[in-house]
Amino acid sequence: EVQLVESGGGLVQAGGSLRLSCAASGFTFDDYAIGWFRQAPGKEREAVSCISSSDGTTYYADSVKGRFTISSDNAKNTVYLQMNSLKPEDTAVYYCTADVDWDKYGSIWYTAYEYEYWGQGTQVTVSS
């Protein structure tokens, strides 16, 4: 059974940093991708970032490019999202998600329906 467990959320002032972690278990797939999505109150869930397991290719939403960095530690089966220069508009519940039939040339990383498994989410609150 695939499980994704997020951690690292919290309250931080604008300009500060947080590192989210996504611990994955139950994976027996060759090619997969781990993504981060977020959802603010009253807004739709939006893609933040994604990393491919096969070659480490990374993807970012324009709103976080240059501020967020996604990385993976395969030995620990953990994906990280380093968030720097946080803004109040980054406030949201952040979800870790997995696409277990990832196709580098066919999968659309920024669409939620691409992903089969989701974590429970972790709250990130950025105060102004």
Q: What is the pLDDT of residues 33-84, one digit of tens each?
A: 999 999 999 999 999 999 998 889 999 999 999 999 999 998 889 999 999 9
pLDDT of residue 83: 98
Lookup: tokens for 112? 């939620």
pLDDT of residue 6: 97
- Asked if residues 72 and 57 have their Cβ atoms less than 8 Å apart, the reply is no
CA angle, 54 then 81 then 33, to 5°: 25
Q: Are the CB atoms for 25 and 44 separated by under 8 Å?
A: no
- Hey, which residues does 10 pair with through a beta bridge? 124
93 Rama class: left (phi>0) / alpha (psi -120 to 50) / beta:
beta
76-127 pLDDT per residue, tens = 899 999 999 999 999 999 999 999 988 888 899 999 999 999 999 999 999 9
Specify the amino acid at residue 107: S
Rounded-to-integer distance, Cα 12 and Cα 49, Å: 20
* pLDDT band for position 27 (cuts 50, 70, 90): confident
Mean pLDDT of the chain: 94
pLDDT of residue 28 exceeding 80: no
Q: Is it the case that residue 29 has pLDDT exceeding 80?
A: no
Of all residues in the chain, the percent with pLDDT exceeding 70 is: 98
